[in-house]
Amino acid sequence: MKTKGSSNRRKRFDTDFKREAVRIADEGVTTDRQVERDLGLYQGAIGVWRRELGADPVNAFPGTGHQKPLEEEVRRLRRELEIARQERDILKKQWPSFPKYRSPVPIHEGAQGSIPA
């Protein structure tokens, strides 16, 4: 049974800590698992961090609430598209198709020329 003071949440580590942990593991003095135990990490953390760092060294570990620049742009564009779709749908509902409701304008056959002002 969980007690009030127990913490089952995953610990959060900053970018510098992750980079340093991967560097220590890459030195080859100890195994990844031993480094994880020494630093109090979950099993497999070093491998996950190593892959993230290898895939994008500059933007690795963006942090909570932050996104990589490309992901941020995709999110912004998707939001803009959703707004445009909503605006389009509103206009579709507001303005019915004109040909459907068009009635012929009666024109007086005797009137010729321009319309008087």
Min mean pLDDT across 32-41, 70-79, 99-108 is at: 99-108
Query: What are the distances in angstroms from CA 53 to CA 45, 59, 62, 96, 103?
Result: 12, 8, 11, 54, 67
Per-residue pLDDT band for 117 (boundaries 50, 70, 90) equals low
Does residue 97 surpass a pLDDT of 80?
no
Higher pLDDT, 12 or 21: 21
With 0-12 CB in 10 A as exposed, 13-18 as middle and 19+ as buried, what is 40? exposed
Which pLDDT value is given to residue 84?
93
Looking up tokens 């007086």 gives: 108
The whole-angstrom distance between residue 63's C-alpha and the CA centroid of its chain comes to 14
Does residue 52 surpass a pLDDT of 50?
yes
Check if the beta carbon of residue 23 is closer than 8 Å to that of residue 46: no
